[in-house]
Amino acid sequence: MSRKVPNFQQPTTDHTADVVIAGSDENDTRAQQLALSTNLPVVQGDAIATARYCLLWINDKLVLRDKTTSQINDICVDFSEGRQRHRQQFGGGQGQPLARAVNIKGSHQPHICDGTGGLGADAYVFATLGAEVTILERSIVVHALLADGLRRARDHPETSAIAQRITAYPADTCKLPDSWPCNTKPAIIYLDPMYPRTRKNAAAKKGMQTLQRLLPHDTDERALLNAAISTATQRVVVKRPLKASPLPGPTCVGFIRSPNTRYDLYRGRG
């Protein structure tokens, strides 16, 4: 698939005032390179101790440390860890509701854009099933974690072929179709906007709880859906909690259910 030179609007960075990069010393080139690509400050010593969120490397993994809670709360992207591997082996292949929602069928492999990339778990499932995936993620902090996870996955013999099918960009999906980075528009755009945090879903996985605390609450769901519909050539899929109302905007043309989740389907007009 050919790619054109991306012409992105700067993704949202509101939340980054609370995030620092922990540098081991002033010559820490890895930290300096991350600072260049994210515009986040590199700090040392006491400034690390007082930061609310800190990006640091542990055994070659880029980790986001959430220091706003008393529990140890580190998140990183690791496609070879148990949960992801379990999902790969036992997730149900092409028969699983997620695969049916994005229309992966037999040898039919649509180009999928994951327009709300997050930590890349759903995108990795699409790539595991053989699809080419373009991820857009507007948080530069989350994108940095994702890019680091993909770098390690490309270097690992078990995950390399899958990770080669994924490309991640720091970009705001609401700015589509103008900022679409490839020459050909995607057949499918998949959206998984953050659910509002309620008592009922407070048991969200640790990583997702940290993202819920760190990231601004999504208030532009209508714009997100409209931008996706005007870009995808075949279908837009929106992941929702089973009983939640659909996103505001156009009416969906169908849905696919799984025990806890509903995938709302919209016709693409790209």
Binding site for ligand SAM (CB under 6 A): 115-116, 118-122, 136-139, 142, 172-174, 192-194, 211, 215, 218, 224
Which CB atom, from 28 or from 221, has the smaller least distance to ligand SAM? 221
Residue 22: both structure tokens together = 């922990």
Closest distance to ligand SAM from the beta carbon of 190 (Å): 8
Count other C-beta atoms under 10 Å from residue 120's C-beta: 27
Closest distance to ligand SAM from the beta carbon of 258 (Å): 14
Closest distance to ligand SAM from the beta carbon of 182 (Å): 16
DSSP per-residue letters across 12-40: P-GGGGGEEEE-SSTT-HHHHHHHHHH-P
Which CB atom, from 115 or from 186, has the smaller least distance to ligand SAM? 115
74-75 β-sheet, strand order:
42-43, 19-22, 53-58, 61-66, 74-75
**Bridge partners, 168 (sequence order):** 135
Which CB atom, from 43 or from 263, has the smaller least distance to ligand SAM? 263
Beta-carbon contacts of residue 89 (< 8 Å; ≥ 6 apart): none
Taking each helix axis from N to C end, the angle separating 140-155 and 29-38, rounded to the nearest 10 degrees, works out to: 130
Please give the angle made by the CA atoms of 19, 171 and 215, to the nearest 5 degrees: 35
Closest distance to ligand SAM from the beta carbon of 135 (Å): 9
Which CB atom, from 54 or from 133, has the smaller least distance to ligand SAM? 133
Closest distance to ligand SAM from the beta carbon of 164 (Å): 19
Tell me the one-letter amino acid at 252.
C
Give Cα 199 distance to the centre of its chain. Answer: 24
Question: Which residue's C-beta sits nearest to ligand SAM?
Answer: 118
Which CB atom, from 23 or from 118, has the smaller least distance to ligand SAM? 118
Which CB atom, from 116 or from 134, has the smaller least distance to ligand SAM? 116
Closest distance to ligand SAM from the beta carbon of 194 (Å): 4
Quick one: which of 140, 149, 147 has its CA closest to 172?
Answer: 140
